[in-house]
Amino acid sequence: MAITNNDIAAIFNRVADLLELSGGNEFRVRAYRGAAMSVASFSQSLADIIISGQEIPKLAGIGKDLEGKIGEIVKTGKLAQLKELESQVPTELIELTHLPGLGAKRVRLIYDKLGVKTIDALEKAARSEKIRAIRGLGEKTEKNILAEIEKRKGLQQNVRLIDAIKAAAPLVEYLKAVNGVTQVTVAGSYRRRKETVRDVDILVTCSKAKTVMDAFAAYPLVKQILAKGLKKTTVVLASGLQVDVRAVSESSYGAALVYFTGSKEHNVAIRKIGVRKKIKLNEYGVFRGKRRIAGKTEEDVYATVDLPWIEPELREDRGEIDAATSGNLPSIIELSDIQGDLHAHTTATDGRSTLEEMIEAAISRGYKYLAITEHTQHVTVAKGLEPKAMRKRLAEIEKAGQKYKEITILKGAEIDILGDGSLDLPEEILEELDIRVCAVHYKFNLTKEEQTSRILKAMENPWCQILAHATGRQINIRSGYEVDLPAIFRAAAQHGVALECNAQPARLDLNDLNLRAAKEAGAKFVISTDSHHTSELEFMQYGVWQARRGWLEKRDVLNSQSLKVLLSSLRKAPQAALSHK
């Protein structure tokens, strides 16, 4: 089976994990993680390039040594270095490092002292009060471990949307090329752009269903066929994703699309309207008695119950039916509305693209502005800049920006919110910035009251303009810190602090429900990619999808506006600072 870019990236990440657990050089660990991200974000198949005899193109962070390892993986399906590391370090320990507060050093210490290799064994050791007995850990660490394990139990382990798209997109193209196929659409939670999906439903219209089912079953990345029929086949792909393909008639296509897109609750709501009108809606069409009166298009289906077509992202039975009935459906934001990105990193800190590369990538996307927001000094793991280095970097950003007529480069920083709620830069540097993005990166285990107080204090600071990834969650990895979000939303509206919808597919923070609640509280937003590489600017689409699910409109999102409107809408710098600039 062909090696994908994701396969290569997974091997590199595993090497990095094991190097870290074995106490390997920090720069080597970082090199493998950077290589994994470069490979995963590269649009062409590296395996196809290598097999065809071409040279691997220049990728950020990948030199001759890593190129050779990519070649080894493509040709053999494995990496000798990884096998060697796996013989030295128990691979089960990798999962333990994903618990917040447990870095590689602590995981290795616990393993060396107690032989703990799994989450279950760790929980048992903590409940037996064995963790606190290890020098350097203590009772507080033990309690935090138990708390994080409990949170982890509640996390939904569906597939992240980006991983579902990476698996399903090439399959869709494969099916479109099958003889006789006329339409292929992915339905379900995938089409509603939920941040995670359990499985994927694909609807196909075609002249011969058997031809489609045979072709689907023969797809090279099918790992297991669970069921195969004339009109429906279910498989598991090599990625682990379950996929159903259904062949539907042209006359039923719209009805099937409504039905299989869901959500279940949305469908029940529109079927209830149908019952009142004495019509029946199902996946085959809309029927009055035995006569089909609609079903070919979604628009026709909705029209039978006196509703306009409703965007898939809104179909969650969260008020969209009433809004549609009263003519108050939101005109939700589009990707084309976005005029710039306000959160991006470069090689000056933990990014993998240079300043110039990031600027040129933003220009290629048609952006009018881009904020470069390097990390501040407290985030040592991200090579955060001390004040003197930050001032130098701001001068470099300003100088580079002057070379480009078609875009405005804004001098920014991602400023750490310290444990006491203060900001990780002195005022004389803060006043030099055009964009001030503030974020929590450590002390996730504070109580809800302490964490809320910390963030509220930062938001009260007149220099705070944007609160980034407000809950700190990472999808399927950590649930984020405890915080009173309604209080944060009220403070955002009160102080004019914009809330970030972070477009990183592993974050998508705030989530859809929180975005809507914050909107109702009167807050404004930015959608930013938190990019660390030029390819990650493309993640803007994920942030827009999340914003659409949160009912955000163009008017709610500051970076959908012109630069002039953006700057006038962001919180203003303190007057005292402006007076002596």
CATH of the domain at 526: 3.20.20.140
Task: Write down which residue in 153, 168, 202 finishes a domain.
Answer: 153
Judge whether 381 lies within some domain: yes
Burial of 149 (0-12, 13-18, 19+ CB in 10 A): middle
Judge whether 330 lies within some domain: no
Query: What pLDDT sits at residue 355?
Result: 96
Task: Tell whether 570 and 443 lie within a shared domain.
Answer: yes
DSSP state of 292: E
Tokens 């990476």 locate to 166
Task: Tell whether 48 and 191 lie within a shared domain.
Answer: no
Task: Tell whether 102 and 116 lie within a shared domain.
Answer: yes
Q: Which domain holds residue 67?
A: 5-153
Task: Write down which residue in 226, 247, 268 finishes a domain.
Answer: 247
Judge whether 88 lies within some domain: yes
Task: Tell whether 230 and 276 lie within a shared domain.
Answer: no
Q: What is the CATH number of the domain that holds 126?
A: 1.10.150.110
Q: What is the CATH number of the domain that holds 298?
A: 3.30.210.10
ω into residue 394 within 30 of 0, thus cis? no
Strand, coil or helix: 385:
strand
pLDDT in tens, the chain (581 residues): 467 787 888 889 888 888 888 887 888 888 888 888 888 777 778 888 888 888 888 887 788 889 899 989 988 888 999 888 888 877 778 778 777 777 788 888 898 889 888 888 999 999 999 998 898 888 888 888 888 887 776 554 689 999 999 999 999 999 999 999 999 999 999 999 999 999 999 999 999 999 999 999 999 889 899 999 999 999 999 888 999 999 999 999 999 999 999 999 999 999 999 999 999 999 999 999 999 999 999 999 999 999 999 999 999 999 999 999 999 999 999 999 999 999 999 999 988 889 999 999 999 999 999 999 999 999 887 789 999 999 999 999 999 999 999 999 999 999 999 999 999 999 999 999 999 999 999 999 899 999 999 999 999 999 999 999 999 999 988 888 999 999 999 999 999 999 999 999 999 999 999 999 999 999 999 999 999 999 999 999 999 999 999 999 999 999 999 999 999 999 987 864 444 33
Tokens 């300043």 locate to 355
Task: Tell whether 341 and 304 lie within a shared domain.
Answer: no
Residue 412 to residue 466: CA distance in whole angstroms: 11
ω into residue 239 within 30 of 0, thus cis? no
Q: What is the CATH number of the domain that holds 164?
A: 3.30.460.10
Task: Tell whether 139 and 177 lie within a shared domain.
Answer: no
CB 73 within 8 A of CB 3: yes
Judge whether 221 lies within some domain: yes
Q: What are the pLDDT digits (tens) for 55-101?
A: 888 887 788 889 899 989 988 888 999 888 888 877 778 778 777 77
Residue 121 to residue 481: CA distance in whole angstroms: 24
Task: Tell whether 431 and 345 lie within a shared domain.
Answer: yes
Pairing of strands 196-197, 408-416: unpaired
Judge whether 424 lies within some domain: yes
Strand, coil or helix: 15:
helix
Q: What are the pLDDT digits (tens) for 434-448?
A: 999 999 999 998 999
Task: Tell whether 438 and 500 lie within a shared domain.
Answer: yes
Task: Tell whether 365 and 500 lie within a shared domain.
Answer: yes
Q: Number of folded domains in the chain? A: 4
Residue 9 to residue 110: CA distance in whole angstroms: 28
* Structure-block tokens of residue 12: 């590199």
Task: Tell whether 396 and 517 lie within a shared domain.
Answer: yes
| CA dist list (Å): 232 to 34, 251, 296, 466 | 41, 17, 20, 48
Query: What pLDDT sits at residue 580?
Result: 37
Judge whether 283 lies within some domain: yes
Task: Tell whether 485 and 339 lie within a shared domain.
Answer: yes
Task: Write down which residue in 185, 213, 247 finishes a domain.
Answer: 247
Task: Tell whether 177 and 147 lie within a shared domain.
Answer: no
Query: What pLDDT sits at residue 578?
Result: 44
